[in-house]
Every structure is written in structure tokens, then in C-alpha cells.
Amino acid sequence: QLQLQESGPGLVKPSETLSLTCSVSGGSISSRGYYWGWIRQPPGEGLEWIGSMFYSGNTYYNPSLKSRVTISVDTSKSQFSLKLSSVTAADTAVYYCARHRSGSDYFDYWGQGTLVTVSS
Amino acid sequence: QSVLTQPPSVSAAPGQKVTISCSGSSSNIGNNYVSWYQQLPGTAPKLLIYDNSKRPSGIPDRFSGSKSGTSATLGITGLQTGDEADYYCGTWDTSLSAALFGGGTNLTVL
């Protein structure tokens, strides 16, 4: 059974860079047909897709966040990472990593989520 | 303001049926697959429906999905109190090259 687990700081200061890692177990991060994505959910609000990356490097980002987001994959560690720069309080959210099926564009496996608070 | 429009809330009695709509456009729902997710309080979203109407293994047939034109619908029959959750539709937008989620619908089983 595929499992995803987010890790990273729960508190980030304004203007700094948020960095999270998702560890994948029970399956290959190099699986054909799947991207690896990040989704966030501000407290009390809905889901917002941040971006997705194929293991070979092809990446899609939410246009509204594109200038601040970088997603990378480390196949040797079976991990993928999110960096979001110049954060503000508006970036406070629960951040989820998920497996993203290419073509059908659904997210079938999700991490449990990690709350990141932006505050000084 | 989400590109995909869902009603903020729906409610029905136990045992009854409810439908949740998701409205989009030709650049998203009209030309791409729709998926649906259930988010129980305090938990991660769970895939309920993919490819418009398919159910992953383990999802009961009380849950169904359909798509017509630029709209999609999630149906839930035989409502149970355990179905109380937020439900989200999702799809790809070809013009934006972006994944989209609806604003979410809160289901109350009265």
C-alpha cells in the first residue's frame, strides 16, 4: 500500500522560504503515468493545488503561485519537495502531498497533511 | 473564488439521496475528466470518484458520479451520519495547464 508522509517546519517567518518534503513508501516514485503533487488548505477553506512534478523533471505549477514555487524530486531517496518563497500569513495552511495520475488528473494517495503557520 | 462552482452546503435525512453539482467550462470539465473527494473533519481528502464515474476499490456503490457537458454531479444514496463531510470536485484546466478543485460542499445528514 502506497504511503506518503509530509515533513518540515511547522512555523515559518514572513518573507522566508517554506520547505517541505514528502517521503513515499510502498511504491516507486518513478512509476510511469504518475506525477507527484502538493495541495494546500488554509484553515476553514477549500483545497488549492500548488503544483505537480513527474519524476523525470516535467513540472506544472499553479499560475497564481508559479513565481514563488519550486518542486523537486529525489528518486534515490524516494522523496519529493516543495519550496515556497517570500511567504506571508496568507500562506498559512495544511499542506498535503499526493500522487497525481497523469491524463486523468486525479489524486489517489494523500499524505496526512502538515500545518504550516507563517508568523513572526 | 473557484473556477469550479459547487453549492456551499447540502443536507438530507438518513437513508435519503443527495446530489452535489460542480459547474465549470469547456476548458476544464467540458474536455477533461472529473474526480470527487470526501474530506472527513480533521482528515486528508479521500478519492471517491475518478474518470467522471469510476470508483476506486473499497468505495461503496452508494457513491456515483456523472458528467454532462461542462457540469458534473456526485450522487450519494442511502445517506449515513458517517457521510457528513466536505466534498470537492476536481479536474484539469487545459487553458491554465493547472489542476482545479471546486470550492467544496459541506454535507449534513440531518
Contact A41, A94 (CB under 8 A): yes
Closest residue in A to B50 (Cα–Cα) = A106
Q: In this predicted structure, what is the pLDDT of residue A101?
A: 95
Give the closest residue to A49 by CA, choosing from A120, A100, A117, A114: A100
pLDDT exceeds 80 at position A98: yes
Rounded to whole angstroms, the Cα distance separating B10 from B109 reads 9
Residue-wise DSSP of B29-92: GGGS--EEEEE-TTS--EEEEBTTTB--TT--TTEEEEEETTEEEEEE-S--GGG-EEEEEEEE
Q: In this predicted structure, what is the pLDDT of residue A106?
A: 97
Q: What grid cell was written down for B73? A: 454531479
Which H/E stretch holds residue A3?
strand A3-7
Mean pLDDT confidence for A64-84: 96
pLDDT exceeds 90 at position B40: yes
Chosen for mutation from A6, A22, A62, A107 (greatest number of chain B CBs closer than 10 Å) is A107
Q: In this predicted structure, what is the pLDDT of residue A56?
A: 82
Local confidence band at A69 (pLDDT 50, 70, 90 cut-offs): very high
Q: In this predicted structure, what is the pLDDT of residue A55?
A: 81
Contact between chains at B99 and A100 (C-beta distance less than 8 A) = yes
Average pLDDT, chain A: 96
Q: In this predicted structure, what is the pLDDT of residue A107?
A: 98
Residues in B closer than 8 angstroms to A49, CB to CB, are: 98-101
Residues in A closer than 8 angstroms to B47, CB to CB, are: 106-108
Rounded to whole angstroms, the Cα distance separating A111 from A113 reads 5
How do residues A12-55 score in pLDDT, each as one tens digit? 999 999 999 999 999 999 988 999 999 999 999 999 999 999 88
Burial of A81 (0-12, 13-18, 19+ CB in 10 A): buried
Residue among A63, A106, A112 minimizing CB distance to B98:
A63
Residue among B44, B56, B99 minimizing CB distance to A52:
B99
* Residues 6 or more apart whose Cβ sits within 8 Å of residue B54: B65
Rounded to whole angstroms, the Cα distance separating A54 from A56 reads 5
Strands B46-49 and A34-41: unpaired
How do residues B13-29 score in pLDDT, each as one tens digit? 999 999 999 999 999 99
Instruction: Check if B82 contacts A (Cβ < 8 Å).
Output: no
